[in-house]
Structures are given as structure tokens and as C-alpha cells.
Structure 1
Amino acid sequence: MRSPTRRTLLTAAAALPAVALAPGVSDAEVVSAWKPITLTGTAKAFAEAPPQARVVRVAGTDFLQLRGGAHVSYTADSPLGRLPSGLRVPKLTRGLCPRNNHNGLSVCRVEADVRGVLIVLGGTSASKITWVRLDGFSSVLS
């Protein structure tokens, strides 16, 4: 059996961001386990899937991964919350996340800045974001 290449591992990490790491893959490890994201403002966590963040390392590359979601009411770019204590990003990192569908818009951009603040971008008065699902967010940190 061939061992996975770095490219294969990186592709898998980006394609399957919130699933458990495959057993037996020696080039993949959890750097920081799932920890809760502290929400700000009027954001309310999904009861069945509160927002969480972790860092995984695949073939020597660190990825910030998010999961869960929140009910929000955003008509402009707005802070969603803060990454857990001790989990910070070295540079602005971003990903696309599902949101309520309005006039064909069903994704929004979510950014994590170096202060650990998560910002949801894309809400407008004509296209209000009422919920955001963080599953699928996976961004390269290093």
C-alpha cells in the first residue's frame, strides 16, 4: 500500500475539514482539540451544534477548522465571535460558509483576524444574514 503524498493529505484536509482525522494516517494530527467560540452581540449558538474551532496539522501544514453555527441578524459586515483562548491565527484567514438563502445568495465569507475575532461578511439590508453554518471552514495557517 502506498503512503499518502503531501498533496493528497492537504487536499483531504481542505475537502473534509470537520471530520475526524483518518486513523492510521501518520502525517495528520490534532494540534488543538475542538474548543467553543465565544459569540458576541446578539448571535445565538445553534442548540444542536454550537460554534467551535480547532487546529489540525496535515503533512506539516496547520489548518484552522470551524464547525457549528449561529442564528444572527446581520445587515452589514459584523463580528460573530472570538476564537478560543490560546488559539490565534498568524495572519488574516478566510473561508466561505453556508448562510440562509436570499435571492440566490447562500454563502458568506467568514474571516479570522490576528486578534482572534471572527467576522461575517456579506450581509446587507437587501440580503440579511439570519444564520451562518461554520462547518466546512478550513483555512491554511502555515
Structure 2
Amino acid sequence: MSKITNRRSVLGAVLALPAAAATGSLIAATPAAAAGGVVADAWTDLVLEPGVTAQAGATPQVRLITLADTTYLQARGAITCNLAADTKIATLPAGLKPTWYVRATAPRNNSQGINSCRFEVNTAGAVSIYGGNSGNPITWVQFDSVQTIWR
């Protein structure tokens, strides 16, 4: 039993060492350096397709955020809809066009045990939702969990 305890103690000490070293350098760093050079663009509204509406107080928006030389697309807001097939729901604001498909998972109405759908942006900037069908339509989608690598 003492060997297991000793192994755990050694493992705990080894795992804690990098954290302690990193904490020391972060404490001494300036706030911008500690944040890793985070650059966040302003939130911009998505251009919604007919039949797709923003939920009250939750306008669908996107922005780019760069952290440690990696850029991410973040989304927020929610829509009300009736999607019985894979459907284009919006277009990205002008100037935001990915170089490849950008995909993430987003919460949707829970129906028949399915509570998420695919959020996808193509290279033309079209935002589509995948997963709805006539037997299990998507009636709302919430975007606050959407964060995916942009480039």
C-alpha cells in the first residue's frame, strides 16, 4: 500500500512542478503577456435568412478572437426556426470568409433524445445548420457554445 501512496505522491509532485513554474512566470508577467496576446474583434450580427428569427435579447453574432497565434470564430445568440432539413440560416458579415469549412456543435431543442446539431460555415460565408428532418425538426438553436478554429 505504501508503494501506491509513494507513486501517487511522486506523480502528484511531477504534475505540480510545471504548474508551479508556469504560475511563477505568469505572476511576473504583464497582463498582456499573461493573457498570451489575446486580440478580440467586435461582435457583428449574422445576416439571417427568411424564416429564421433572432430570439429576443439574443441576436446571433460572430467575432474573431486570436489567442497564442491561433484565430477562432466565436458565436453567440440564438435563433427560432423550423428546420426539417439541412438548411442555410445566415451569412457571415462582409469581410469574414473562411479559407476552409468551419464546423462546431450547437445546442438545439431536445427531441427524440437529440439535443445538438452541426453549425457549419462554408468558404462563401454561408452559415448552415445540419441535423433537422421532417420527423425531428429543429425549432431553435443556441450559439453561445460555438467556438472553432478559423485559421
TM more than 0.5: yes
Task: Supply the AA of the counterpart residue of 2:133.
Answer: T
Looking at structure 1, the residues matched to 121 and 67 of structure 2 have their Cα atoms a distance apart, in angstroms, of: 20
Q: Give the C-alpha shift of residue 28 in structure 1.
A: 1.2
Q: Give the C-alpha shift of residue 41 in structure 1.
A: 2.1
Q: Partner of 2:52 in structure 1?
A: 43
Q: Which runs of 5+ in 1 are unaligned?
A: 4-21
Calculate the TM-score normalised by the size of structure 1.
0.82
Q: Partner of 1:70 in structure 2?
A: 79
If you compute each CA radius of gyration, which structure gives the higher value, 1 or 2? 2
SS state of the match for residue 2, structure 1? helix
Q: Which has the higher helix share?
A: 2
Structure-2 change in CA distance of 1:123 and 1:23 (3 Å): farther
Q: Which has the higher strand share?
A: 1
Structure 1 stretches of 4+ with a deviation exceeding 6 A read none
Q: Does 1:28 align with 2:51?
A: no
1:54-106 Cα deviation digits (max 9, x unpaired): 00001000001110010010000001100111112111010000000001100
Looking at structure 2, the residues matched to 23 and 46 of structure 1 have their Cα atoms a distance apart, in angstroms, of: 38
Q: Give the C-alpha shift of residue 24 in structure 1.
A: 5.4
SS state of the match for residue 66, structure 1? strand
Looking at structure 2, the residues matched to 24 and 72 of structure 1 have their Cα atoms a distance apart, in angstroms, of: 41
Calculate the TM-score normalised by the size of structure 2.
0.77
Superposed, 1:106-121 pairs within 5 Å as 106-121=115-130
RMSD (CA atoms):
1.8
Looking at structure 2, the residues matched to 129 and 67 of structure 1 have their Cα atoms a distance apart, in angstroms, of: 18
Greater RCO, 1 or 2 (C-alpha within 8 Å, sep 6+): 1
Q: Give the C-alpha shift of residue 42 in structure 1.
A: 0.2
